[in-house]
Structure 1
Amino acid sequence: MKIVFVGPTVPDAATLVGDALAVRPPATQGDILRAVYDGATVIGLIDGNFEYVAPVWHKEILFALSLGVTVLGAASMGALRAAECAAFGMVGIGEIFRQYMADETADDSDVALLHAPEELGYTALTVPLVNLRATLRHLTEQNRLTATDAAEIADVAADLFYKERTWNAILGHAGLSAHIDAAMLRAEYVDQKRIDALELFEALRRMPAERHAPPQDWTFNTTSLWATMLSQLPLTDEKSDA
């Protein structure tokens, strides 16, 4: 069974993947572990919740890998965790993962955004910094935005808390909107997170739905903290898949 955790990055994921993948909502702590116990052979991590809930724990990713489950990450929380767990065999996909690995992107909040709930289609309410930077690169490469203006916009956006990173806040800061074509920025918006997520979908489709041999170069350590988590975490989840 192939499972992918995704939400606001690709709100229409269920329609796009059809029966090829089991789509579950953004992951929180314990969801990767539940997927393993549910029989997952391949897991794709794109979106994950945080702040008000515990995020996906690195240890549960390592547990999945130790059992021969292929775990891929891209676009959002998945790209971040893939960069952090690459040494243990987690597979990163896409440009944002590459940026984390190259230290071109470092902050967790660079992929974060404020969005509406699932019931309202995960509508984006703010602009993820990784997407803004991709948009600025595209416009400078097309000679439609100067490098100086692009750098100024990027700096302003980076200084904003991710929940406040709207187009109006970015362009209204320090009078940027007076000499920047805001309509052009919106029209030429590059959704790098979605691009990377779609690449992960394709990678998942191509992979065989089977577990492989456990890693030979490292051993999963069952720590006391891990044992405590197992004892406290219900492995029969009442939530339905999204």
Structure 2
Amino acid sequence: MKILFCGPTLPDAQALVGTDIVLQAPAVQGDILRATQDGATAIGLVDGHFEQVAPVWHKEILFALSKGVRVYGAASMGALRAAECMAFGMIGVGKIYHQYAAGELEDDADVALLHGPAELGYMPLTLPLVNVVATLEDLCARQQIGPAPAAQLRLAAAEIFYKHRNWRAIVARANLPHGADLKGIEARLASGTINQKRLDAVRLLDIMRSAPARRATAPEGWTFNSTSLWKRLLNQLVASS
């Protein structure tokens, strides 16, 4: 069984996963442990909740890996956890993961965005910084925007709280030349938006499809340590099931 935790990064995931991957809502603490206990052979982590609930714990990822589960991460919380757990065998996918792994990205908030509830298909309502950066890089490469204004727009985007970040707010905050066509710049950014999170999530999905439908051998070089905190989470899971 292959399980994918996904939401606002790939709102149409249900239409893309096919029949061999089970789609679940953005992960919270205990979900990867539960998936492992339920017999998952591969787990894909894209989205996870982090503000109102406890986020996915590194320890449960290590537990899954220790049981031979292939754990993939990309695009959002998955990219963060993959960069943090790559030494133990978690498989990172995509540009955003590589940026975190290389230290080019460090802040969790760089992938955060405000979105609607599951009932509305996790509709994205704001822009994650990683998509802003990807868009500016693409427009610069195509000479649709100059390096100087791009740098100002990136700086402005980084200064805006993720729940308020959109192209209009970014353009309004950026220190652009006097007399610049702000509406024109905003329109160019909106029409040329690169959804890097989506691109990375689709790549993860492709890799999961081709992953073996069986668990791997236990990793060598490290042993899972069942600490008291881990046993507490395990007991909580058993009690709630």
Q: Partner of 1:184 in structure 2? A: 188
Q: Name the aligned partner's letter for residue 52 of structure 2.
A: Y
TM-score of the two chains, using structure 1 as the length reference:
0.95
Aligned-pair identity (%): 57
How many Å apart are 1:233 and its aligned residue?
A: 2.4
SS in 1 for 2:71: strand
Aligned residue runs from structure 1 range 46-65, under 5 A: 46-65=46-65
- Residue 140 of structure 1: how far off its partner (Å): 0.1
> Per-residue displacement from partner, 1:142-201 (whole Å, max 9, x unpaired)?
001000011100000101111111222111115659434111100010000000000000
1:134 alignment partner, SS class: helix
Q: Which runs of 4+ in 1 moved over 3 A?
A: 174-180, 234-237
CA–CA separation in structure 2 for the residues paired with 1:227 and 1:198: 35
Q: Distance in 1 between matches of 2:225 and 2:130?
A: 35
1:79 paired residue number = 79
Match in the other structure for 1:173? 173
1:20 CA drift (Å): 2.2
The whole-number CA distance in structure 1 between the counterparts of 2:86 and 2:116 is 31
**Residue number in structure 2 paired with 1:101:** 101
Give a deviation string over 1:45-94, Cα, whole Å, max 9, x none: 00000110000000000000000000000000000000000000000000
Give SS of 2:79's match: helix
Task: Give the secondary-structure state (helix, strand or coil) at the position aligned to 1:72.
Answer: strand
Q: Which residue of 1 aligns with 2:235?
A: 231
Question: Counterpart amino acid of 2:50?
Answer: F
> C-alpha separation between the residues in 2 aligned to 1:174 and 1:104?
22
Unaligned runs of 5+ in 1: 238-242
1:210 lines up with 2:219 in the alignment: no
**Is this contact kept in 2: 1:37–1:235, CA < 8 A?**
no
- Distance in 1 (CA, whole Å) between partners of 2:239 and 2:130 is 34
User: Which residue in the other structure is 1:240 paired with?
Assistant: none
CA RMSD, aligned part only? 1.4
AA at the equivalent of 1:141:
A
User: Does the 8 A contact of 1:34 with 1:236 survive in 2?
Assistant: no
**Equivalent residues of 2:153, 2:174 under 8 A apart:** no
Query: Which amino acid is the alignment partner of residue 179 of structure 1?
Result: D
CA distance in 2: counterparts of 1:18 and 1:42, whole angstroms: 15
Distance 1:174 1:99 in 2: 24
Q: Which shows bigger deviation, 141-150 or 173-182?
A: 173-182
